[in-house]
Every structure is written in C-alpha cells, then in structure tokens.
Structure 1
Amino acid sequence: MPILKSYLRPRDLCLPLVLALLATAGCSRGTGDSKAAAPAAAPQVKDVGVVTLKTERMPVTTELAGRTVAPVIAQIRPQVGGIVQQRLFTEGSQVKAGQVLYQLDPASFEATAASARANVRRAETTLATARSVAKRNAELVKIDAISQQVNEQTQAAADQAEADVAVARAAEQTARINLARTRIVAPISGWIELSSVTAGALVTADQATPLTTVQQLDPINVHVTQSSAELLRLKRELASGRLSRGRADEAPIRVLLEDGSVYPHAGKLTFAGVTVDAGTGSVTLRAVVPNPDRMLMPGMYVRAVLEEGVAEDALLVPQQAVTRAPDGSASSLVVGPDDKLVRRAVTVGRAVANRWQVLEGLQAGDRVLVEGSQRARAGDQVRASEVVPKPGPGAPAPVNGKGGPGPGSVASAGPLANAKIVR
C-alpha cells in the first residue's frame, strides 16, 4: 500500500475526471447541432379503402306478415236426412268436381219418387179425359145441345186438370232431386279433409257440422296487412317522383316460410283493400302464389316480400360507411379531389341488405370511405384504393351472370325493411 500511494498523486486522480467532462460537453454540442440541421418530417399518407358511388335501379320492397288462405273452400253438408251407407273417398286425397263422396240410404226417397211418378200419370190421364169432354161440349154448345154453363164448367175442368199435371210433375221432380241428393258429391275439385262421420251415422239436412271440407290449394292465396301510414308514405314518394311504379310482370311477391327459408315460387298481388280496418289501422292485401307441391297449407304463417315501387336513380352506400353521432345525425367520410378526407352530413332512408339508401348529402362519383376509418380522420391525406363490397343477406341475386335484380327477383329489404326514414 505505501508503494501504491507513492504512484497515485492528486493530479493523476483529477486528469480522468477532466477528460470525462470534456467528452460529455462535446457530445451534447454535437447532438444539438444534428437536431437543428434535420429537415421537418413530411405528413404521413394513410392507405384507406373506398367505394365509388353510382346510381342504380333499386326495387323498393317491404316485408309484411300474413296467412295462407285457400281461394275456394267447400264445406260438404247433406241436403237430405238419412243414414250414411258408404264413404266413397280417401281422406286427404284429391277429388274431382261431381265425384261421389257419401251414399245415404235411398230406400225412402226411391219410394217417394215412385209415388210422384204415379201421381203424374194419374194427373195426365185425368187431363186427357177433361180435354176430350171439353172439346165435345164446345161443339154441342154451338147447336144448343147443352147449356153455356155446362160448357164453361167442362172447359174449367180441363184447365184444372192441366194444372194438376204441372203440380204432379213438380212433385216428381222434387222427389228425383231428393233421391239424387242421397249421393253427396264434391261441388269443386280439390283436396279433401278428414271425414266427421262414418258409415251408419245419421245425418240431417243442412246440419251445422260439415261432413268434410274440400279446398283448392293450387294456386293458394296469401293475405297480408299493411298499415295505412306506410301506404300514405308510399303515395307521397310516388307523387314526388322519388319512386316509380314498376311493371306488374316485374313485381313478383316472394314468400318467406316460418322457418326463414324462401318459398321457390313467386306470386302476384291481385287485390288491395279499399277500406282501413278501424281496429288495426291496416289494409288487407291479397297475393296469389303457385302451390304445385302443396308446400303451402291453409292457415300457415308466412312473410311476403312485395315490391312497392322502383327508385330508378338510387344511391346505395355500405352501412359501415355511415356513422351516427350521439344526437342521431348520420355522416360519412368522403375522399376529396385533393385526396383529403372530408366529413359530410348525410340523410339515409331504407336499408337494402347491407347498404343504406342515401337521400341527401352524397352524389354519384363520390368516393366514400369504407375501410381505414380507425386510423384516418377528417382532413388527413390518404391514398385511396377501390374496394368491392360483399353483398349481404337479402341482396339481389345476379341473373345470367349480371349484377342486379332481374325478372322474377325482388331486392329484399332485409331485417331493417321497416326502418324509419329520416326526412
């Protein structure tokens, strides 16, 4: 230790400390100079995805709840009383008009018919005798062989005999009709329901309970209701020119079944009510739908998608391009000519699949931001690339490889079909 102390003098200890301070001062001056000499950073260009708006033909549809109803229903009731001898049809099968369904015991009706025929023959014989006497007396009165009174009486007897024949023939016809009614026939062609009676049952004329029911199922009717407020809105849009009436053959009605599947056959609207129901404030509409496979049965709950009109120059924007403020106002980010984002207030109407119909605020040719809204804000410089939006559920299916709805297809409005339109 004494040897080390001899070598470490105070000036030797201070020299390293001085060198370190000089090095630190030099570095700090060099850093400051580099910062001053560095150029200002250029604004960052952000990549975003846009959709260029263009006008298109948009069928305006609405989805309404309804029930299926058989267009023709025949309740089979006996017109004469008797005992059922036979049931001559298979329950649940198709029957033809005039086909015999039930056979009642005809014995008493056959006897009545035979008695009526005998009464006709007796009346006809009496008429022949009365006419012969009347003709002979008409000649005798001319030579004063009989009195005028006797002649008039014989003429009246002949007339009465003729009337008796008419009455007897009417009774015979009634007996024949009642006899024929022991064979209960189908008044229409259609599908027959279960039978409420079996052989041996006693039935009465015009009883309250039908024996069975025959219904026509192809085509079948669909009755739906629409509120009067919706009808008024539709009339205003048609009057303003925002909507136009499409051709009847281009406006089929699609039916959605209870399980959510789409019925394969399109129908047509055939009737619109002229009176508003005071209790529900709605109007009844009727559509006729083909039913060759009997998939639709009377009484089923369905939803009908029907076309109200056509917006010829509609603007549709993806729903992700529209944002809502806390006060409910809608806006979209649009890429301007200088590639800067601009926020525009918009007014939207109907929801069509996964897009909104734009009523105000945007126009054809605008590039609307659909991707990158989380990293870009209004006023930012962006690099826009076109995005092909994916069609959502309920979008119009392509026809022959071409986009858009074609004959026999309806653009569904989806679950937001009845969304309130902001005016």
Structure 2
Amino acid sequence: MAPAITLAAEAPKLSAANTGFMLICSALVLIMTPGLAFFYGGMVRVKSTLNMLMMSFISMGIITILWVLYGFSLAFGTDKGSFIGWTSDWVGLSNIGLTELWDGYTIPVFVFMIFQLMFAIITPALISGALADRVKFTAWSLFITLWATLVYFPVAHWVWGAGGWAFELGVIDFAGGTAVHINAGAAALGVILVIGKRVGFKKDPMRPHSLPLVMLGSGLLWFGWFGFNAGSWLGNDDGVGALMFVNTQIATAAAMLAWLLYEKIRHGAFTTLGAASGAVAGLVAITPSGGAVSPLGAIAVGAIAGVLCAMAVGLKYKFGYDDSLDVVGVHLVGGVIGSLLIGLFASGKGQSTVEGLFYGGGLTQFWKQCAGVFAVLGYSLVVSAILAFLIDKTMGMRVAEDEEIAGIDQAEHAETAYDFSGAGGGAARTAVPAPADTDAKKVDA
C-alpha cells in the first residue's frame, strides 16, 4: 500500500471581495465619530456646542498620527509578556508590503490597520461626553494623547492581540464591549471624579439645545455601527459577519423600545432623547456579544440593556458625580451588560462553540467575561484618574469659572455655533430705506 500523502493547508490568498468589504466598513466606522460629535453636540447647551464637536474631531487628528507612529505596533505587534505588543517594522507603518496579508486572513495588513485605527479614534472621543462644558481644549488634547498610549493601546492588545492575556484566557469581545465601551466609560468616570462637577450641576437647567442634532447623530451612529460590528469578523466567508449585522439591528431596536417603555412608565412620556439614548445603549451592548448570541438572544441583550442603562443614567444625581452626557450610564453600563450576558446567552452556533449558562454551558464563560470586564474597568479607571490629576496639577484641566459660565465655545475657540445677528428677515428689510415715489414710478414705467 502506498504511503498516505498529507497535503499542506492551502495558504490564504488575498480576497478582493473581503478587502473591499473591509474598506467600506472602515469608512463606516470613521463616520461614527462625526456622528458622535453631533449626538453629543446636540445634547449640550448652545454655548458649548462647538467645543463638544471639536473634542470628537481632534481625536481624528491626534489618534491617527499616534497610530501610524507606534499605536498599531503596541496594540497588534508581537506579544510582549501578555500586556503589550511591539513590532519595530510597523513603526511609522514601515516595511509593510502592499499585498502582505494579515495573520492568516484574506485582507492586507494595511486594511486591518486602517479598520482598527477607526476604533482607536472613536474610543477616546466617547469619553468627551462626560466632560462637557468645563475642560480646556489643550488639556483634553494632551489627555487623549497620553490615554491612548497608556490605556487604549495596551487594552486593545489584551483583548484582541495574539498573546494578550484576555485573548488567551478566552474572553469574548467581538467588536469592543471591553476595549472600547467599558474602557471609555471607566475613563470618563475616573476623570470626572478628579475634575468635579459643572458650575450649577443639579441647580441650573442643562437641557439639550438641539434634539434634531441628537437624532441625526444617533442615526449616523446606528448606520456606521454596522461596519463597526459586522466588519470585526474581517470577512464574511462563513456567515458570522452576517449574523453580527442582523443582531446589531435587532438589539438596537429592542433597546430603543425598552428604554421608551421604561421612561413612559417612570416619567410619563416617550422622548426623542430617550429613543436616541436607547438605540445607543443597544448598540453598545450587542457590540461584544452579537457574534455569540442568536437573534432571540439579541432581543434579550438589547431589552435588558435598554432598561438597565435607562435606570443607570439617574445614578449621577444619587451619587453626585457629574457625568454630563451619560457616558458612564450608557457606555460603561451597556458595555458591562453586553459583555457579561455572553456568559448566559452564548448559543455555541456563532463565532465559537462556547455555550452560556442558558444553553447548557454552565458559568465557565461568565467568569471569564467577569475577569475581562473588571480588569479593563479597574485599569482604565485608575490610570485615567491619575492622568487627569497630573494634568490638572500642571497645566489645569478646567477652564476658569467665569469662562464656563459665559460659554466654553467663545473662551476656547473664539466662535459660537449659531450667528443670529443676521436672522429675522423682516427686521433686515425694514433697515433698507424705501424708494422715493419718483423712483417707484420710473420702475413701474
């Protein structure tokens, strides 16, 4: 009998379809940051609108440069002690071939790099919502530079980098429940505990100045989130990316409805702000879990997140921390919920064969999720608070009180969001002298 011949596994080849799909997903994730800017910008008072927009937009500049210089290498380079990565050839994106494939996938390294950059951009921008009205723009720019370097890049490696401790432990985070949302929410809490409350917190009305902007922003976030979530499978040859796309829509819808029902029962009205916030809560919660749960599981994840996040946003008044735009209540709480529910609702038929408690898998995965959740939460909270404290003691984190009261837009950017000086057509017309009778007759003639 002739000896058996063992054929080597065929090496992956570049897929034009997957490459194109991932480039589109990268663009979708990028548009989420302007969407976030509108979402936050509409929620603040008119005198803080531009500052809120700029706190998101500056992240698109700073984080891009950091990612090129060293961020990609720290997050996804060769593992160093399960804590951080490093590949010197990636510094400045040098020595990367145009058709060099990413780690056994069918897309180029450059495509994976740019997709992950968009995640790195929006994560620090999420923090900004908790700090509305009161932070110096220069201090914010320095903070996100240091925070991305010391917190986001290492945590991304823990969760997604080969050799990262959470990755090796088996913590499931499909698209960023821990690395993005818990990370940003815990950072927000750490900073606001250091810098304190806005002037007039719990005394002055601080209602959103433009709910249409809020709805526009949430719509852009919902739209871009399909790239954020479905793209994280880096292709769709096996249908998991499609499952994530479907679950993203389902959970978001369920969370929005659950939030609206809760506030109708609790406060007596269905609000547009509640609809927008509920949708974002569902998007956050399904981000880590959508590849592991069934569509029915996605309904459960969304509904639970909608109610619990709606309840959580009121905790700032009870405990006295000024989370201006509910980053802690939505992103931290929603990220924790979505990550932990994997341990209950994982069906074993999605991204892996892992089964949660309700599918006969016991609590093994739940405890793994707990390890990832609370490690990221604790690390980000502590380091972020330390960074805020150091910046506050050196250059100062907050604008002067009179500048905060007058409006941070004028103080920090020398601009205002709306110019009403030329508004009111009737007034403008009366300022123009009426033509003489003789001139009118000439015109009539």
TM-score, normalised via structure 1 length? 0.19
Higher strand share: 1
Structure with larger Rg: 1
TM-score, normalised via structure 2 length? 0.19
Higher helix share: 2
Which protein, 1 or 2, shows the higher relative CO under an 8 Å CA cutoff with sep ≥ 6?
A: 1
